[in-house]
Copies of this chain bind each other. A is one copy, B any other.
Amino acid sequence: MRNFKMTLQYEGSRYQGWQKQENTDNTIQGKLETLLLRMTGEGIEVQGSGRTDAGVHALGQVANFHADTEMSAQEIMKYMNDYLPEDIAVISLKEVSERFHSRLNARGKTYCYRVLNTQIPHVFDRRYVHVVNRELDIDAMKRAAEYLVGTHDFKAFTSNKRGRKSTVRTIESIRIEKAQSLSMGLMGAQDEVRFWYSGNGFLYHMVRIMTGTLLEVGMHKRRPEEIAEVLASRCRENAGELVPAKGLTLMEVRY
């Protein structure tokens, strides 16, 4: 069996997340597997680097699948892009060693969470950003973020309650930057705040809860130093709000 690695982009708005579900085919994985079944006549499992939740976007999701086909990688990519819905695209596809596994071999991931910090509605970015009207203290958020960087037990920063698995993860870096949104490009306003997270792996809802917590620091509802206590408590209730999915984009998976 040949093994193919592909990089995917999708706008998550109208999907129920990455992972296929029994009661709906409205998932990214579901769309891909349905298409590969049609292409090869065989049931093929598409293995993603990880799940993305309903409404979360991807600029660089990675997945792999095994197939017994004579088609070239280029032909497969063209076939997929011809038949995928316009909000999902395969931006690269190549044959890789049989042992490559998109989830098990992933060394790290980068996510970006986009916050529009303005009272003016943004037409062109509206599907990809979370709007916060209140003023944000960027320096305070940067100081708070330093407590999250490193290897910690992030149990307070996940919505997963049952899990017996380890909740220890390593965050390599958090970058918080002012940016110019597309809509306001002409006006030159730095009205967007982007939160970039790189790490070896992220728990369920972890990026969105970290962002919600940092935003509370930015609004002076919390002090930056409190983050250390939240981590130590290992209790979800001590962390901040879960911010909406639409602001989140999976940017890159590293191998």
Contacts and interface: CB of A to CB of B under 8 A. Distances in A.
A204 B126 CA distance: 30
A183 B121 contact: no
Contact of A9 (B59, B89, B183): B183
A1 interface: no
A39 interface: no
Contact of A121 (B86, B182, B187, B251): B86
A78 B89 CA distance: 37
A188 interface: no
Interface residues of A, number: 30
B185 A81 contact: no
B89 A10 contact: no
B124 A11 contact: yes
Nearest to A124: B11
A122 B184 CA distance: 22
Interface in A1-34: 9-11
A59 B185 contact: yes
A222 to B, nearest CB: 29
B10 A123 contact: yes
A24 to B, nearest CB: 21
Interface string A129-149: 000000000000000000000
Nearest to A126: B86
Given A86-B126, A89-B120, 8 more contacts: A9-B124, A57-B124, A84-B121, A87-B126, A88-B123, A89-B121, A89-B122, A182-B182
Interface of A: 9-11, 57, 59-60, 78, 81, 84, 86-89, 91, 119-124, 126, 128, 182-187, 251-252
